[in-house]
Structure 1
Amino acid sequence: MGKVILTTGLLILSNTFMTLAWYGHLKFKDMNWSQNLGLISIILISWGIAFFEYVLQVPANRMGFKENGGPFNLWQLKVIQEVISLSVFTVFAIFVFKNETLRTNHLIGFGFLILAVYFIFKK
């Protein structure tokens, strides 16, 4: 149970950094310090943030992988990561991008992802 929680926790943290790296720069225009930055600067800042994603993602996958003594097979690790990624993104979009609306079709899509988790973990 410990590796399940640790793997999942690291994946949540990793995906938080990933979301910040991939989408956080879209809010830079609202910040005084970044208004004159060019695309190369934005890319470098995003890479700097994404570094921490990898620092957390790689150990999560290594310790969570069944062949390394973890509880998950490769397929399970991937689908867990995708569900966490969309969950973190949803929270980020709602609280950071207040003009984006969470709609019924989004929730239905997430429901299908939950079904994917069910089928991936089904023996």
Structure 2
Amino acid sequence: MSLLSPAVLPILLLLASNVFMTTAWYGHLKFPGAALPTVVLVSWGIALLEYCLAVPANRIGHAVYSAAELKTIQEVISLVVFAGFSVTVLGERLTLNHAVGFVLIALGAVFVFKGPL
């Protein structure tokens, strides 16, 4: 399967878009002294890059995935990216409670992709 296939490319684009969005939403926490208007404007600029990846990801991906499946993929990727960002950039620790919560969300994703019960 090619990286440019409609089944794979949207996942790669959503992965990249989530890196930008997580940075836009949480990156400013590393700079508590920065003025709020400044961090809002910088975050908007970063979020624009996220939209430039997320919109094509969903458009391309809808040829293969339902909207619910695309949203589920995005949410799972978002959690994985956030967990990595939280640990590596913000220096926060993930706990067992976080792991259990993430596993429960992943189980929900399994049901979305499983099809009708």
Q: Do these two structures clear the TM 0.5 threshold for a shared fold by scoring above it?
A: yes
Please provide the CA RMSD for this pair: 1.1
Distance 2:106 2:42 in 1: 33
Residue 45 of structure 2 corresponds to residue 48 of structure 1:
yes
The match for 1:6 among 6, 9, 12 is 9
User: What is the TM-score of this pair, normalised by structure 2?
Assistant: 0.91
Distance 2:39 2:114 in 1: 42
* Partner residue, 2:72: 79
SS in 2 for 1:4: coil
* Partner residue, 2:94: 102
Distance 1:73 1:55 in 2: 20
* Partner residue, 2:114: 122
Task: Give the gaps of 5 or more residues in structure 1.
Answer: 30-34
Distance 1:110 1:39 in 2: 31
SS in 2 for 1:85: helix
User: What is the TM-score of this pair, normalised by structure 1?
Assistant: 0.86
Aligned pairs, number = 112
Report the CA distance between 1:38 and its aligned residue. Answer: 2.0
**Aligned partner letter, 1:95:** T
**Aligned partner letter, 2:46:** I
Report the CA distance between 1:39 and its aligned residue. Answer: 1.2
Distance 1:97 1:38 in 2: 19
Distance 1:4 1:97 in 2: 32
Report the CA distance between 1:41 and its aligned residue. Answer: 1.3
Shifted more, 109-118 versus 51-60: the winner is 109-118
Q: Judging by fraction of residues, say which structure has more helix.
A: 1
Report the CA distance between 1:76 and its aligned residue. Answer: 0.4
